[in-house]
């Protein structure tokens, strides 16, 4: 029982000592970190890249930033990239201290403290070039987009609002240093503009062709239109005449039928006595009213037919 207690106390004591050394002297037991440079092109050690080359690349990147600023271009992203390059550069210097077995204890302690959360075994001077090369690429892309936008800012008044909005969106994306998005919007604008210009050209060609056609054949066209109008009127009159004649025939037939119905009703009432006086009066009233309407309308319709 005493042995187990002693082992437990000893383990706790060792744990406390190790924790004290780590948090007070910033000693890393593994040399690993939570920060990783996975976004660089190549984290392997490149012996051909030295400190002076990296310093020169940072100076060049700062000169690029100044050139872009002088051209009134946004430099926030470029500035952030240069700052990141400087941070990685300092981390690489600390990593070099840890890699050098002849480094003094104070330098090692300072390097361990600085790289406590860094996977320093995976960084080297070539890691810094990743960021400085990005700055060079940003400059090239920015000036290329600037030239593209300048070439597209001609007379776009004939384009639709939707198409012109693509160019404005591209300018805004470029101003915000969203270069890839700006290039995509420029490409969309070019396609839309070319499509609209082709459509407008086709419509213009059709309009010009129609104009030339009318100028060349205006007299035959007028004769054709007048003839078509006259034929239309003739056909309309013929149709109206036939329709009126049919209506007159139908009314005459109805008039004859009403006369026969009146005779039949009189026979049923006075000879056969098969209907009552009330029914007789109702039927005769209806027949006479309709007969009178026909007598009034027929002369008018027949006169209209004669005039046609």
Q: What backbone phi and psi angles, to 5 degrees, belong to 250? A: -65, -40
Output the average pLDDT for the chain: 81
DSSP state of 39: T
Mean pLDDT of 124-144: 94
Check residue 44 and give its pLDDT.
Answer: 43
Distance CA 271, CA 278 (A): 16
Q: What backbone phi and psi angles, to 5 degrees, belong to 204? A: -65, -40
**Radius of gyration of the chain measured on its C-alpha atoms:** 51
Check residue 24 and give its pLDDT.
Answer: 41
CB atoms within 10 A of CB 175: 11
H or E, element range at 151: helix 125-152
Mean pLDDT of 156-174: 89
**Residue 48, pLDDT above cutoff 60:** yes
What residue spans define the domains of the chain?
A: 1-29, 31-152, 154-216, 238-307
Nearest residue to 77 via CA among 37, 148, 131, 144? 131
**Is pLDDT larger for residue 219 or for residue 285?**
285
Tell me the per-residue pLDDT of 7-46, one tens digit each, with 9 for 90 and over: 444 544 444 444 444 434 433 333 333 334 444 444 444 5
How far from chain centre, in Å, is Cα 82? 35
Under a CB-based contact definition with an 8 Å cutoff, are residues 25 and 115 in contact?
no
- By CB atoms closer than 10 A (0-12, 13-18, 19+), residue 294 is middle
- By CB atoms closer than 10 A (0-12, 13-18, 19+), residue 53 is middle
Q: Which residue has 């981390």 as its token pair?
A: 91
Q: What backbone phi and psi angles, to 5 degrees, belong to 232? A: -60, -40
Under a CB-based contact definition with an 8 Å cutoff, are residues 91 and 123 in contact?
yes
Distance CA 18, CA 174 (A): 53
pTM of the model: 0.49
Give CA separation, 196 vs 160, 200, 204, 288, in Å.
Answer: 8, 6, 12, 74
């Amino acid at each position: 029982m005493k042995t187990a207690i002693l082992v437990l106390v000893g383990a706790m004591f060792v744990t406390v000592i190790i924790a004290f050394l780590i948090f007070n002297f910033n000693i890393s037991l593994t040399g690993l970190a939570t920060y990783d440079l996975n976004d660089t092109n190549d984290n392997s050690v490149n012996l051909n890249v030295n400190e002076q080359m990296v310093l020169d690349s940072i100076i060049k990147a700062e000169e690029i930033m100044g050139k872009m600023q002088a051209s009134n271009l946004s430099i926030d992203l470029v500035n952030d990239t240069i700052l990141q390059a400087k941070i990685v550069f300092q981390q690489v210097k600390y990593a070099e201290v840890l890699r050098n077995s002849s480094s003094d204890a104070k330098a090692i302690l300072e390097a361990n403290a600085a790289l406590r959360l860094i996977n320093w075994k995976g960084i080297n001077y070539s890691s810094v070039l990743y960021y400085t090369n990005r700055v060079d690429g940003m400059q090239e892309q920015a000036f290329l987009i600037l030239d593209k936008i300048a070439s597209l800012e001609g007379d776009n008044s004939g384009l639709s609002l939707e198409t012109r909005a693509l160019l404005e969106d591209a300018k805004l994306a470029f101003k915000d240093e969203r270069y890839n998005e700006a290039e995509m919007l420029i490409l969309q604008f070019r396609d839309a503009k070319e499509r609209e210009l082709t459509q407008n050209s086709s419509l213009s060609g059709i309009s010009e062709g129609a104009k030339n056609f009318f100028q060349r054949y205006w007299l035959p066209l007028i004769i054709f239109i007048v003839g078509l109008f006259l034929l239309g009127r003739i056909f309309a009159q013929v149709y109206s005449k036939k329709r009126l004649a049919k209506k007159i025939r139908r009314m005459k037939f109805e008039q004859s039928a009403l006369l026969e119905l009146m005779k039949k009703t009189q026979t049923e009432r006075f000879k056969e006595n098969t209907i009552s006086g009330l029914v007789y009066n109702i039927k005769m009233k209806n027949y006479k009213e309709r007969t009178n309407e026909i007598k009034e309308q027929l002369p008018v319709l027949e006169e209209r037919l004669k005039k046609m």
